[in-house]
Amino acid sequence: MPFVNIKIPEAALSTPQKEEVIHRVTDMLAEYFTEAARPHTMVLIEEVKDGGYGRADAVYVTPAPFRARD
């Protein structure tokens, strides 16, 4: 069973955008593993809260202009 775990900043993607990512990743894996894998493919999108991770020794907070609106 293919399993993909995607971590994104909280509120970076809207619900429709997350749905699109799930569908496109599933399609990609079905191309590689054949259609037989589609019903067994799991795509998990985890939203990491602001301040919950960092890059280059700095705590990351999603800027307001980059927050998705559902």
What would the pLDDT profile of 8-51 be if each residue is shown by its tens digit?
A: 988 899 999 999 999 999 999 999 999 999 999 999 999 999 88
CATH number at residue 9: 3.30.429.10
Give the range of the structural domain holding residue 53, as residue numbers without chain letter: 3-66
- Under 8 Å between Cβ of 47 and 10: yes
Integer Cα distance of 10 and 1 in angstroms: 27
Number of compact structural domains in the chain: 1
pLDDT of residue 34: 96
pTM: 0.82
Determine how β-strand 3-9 pairs with β-strand 42-48: parallel
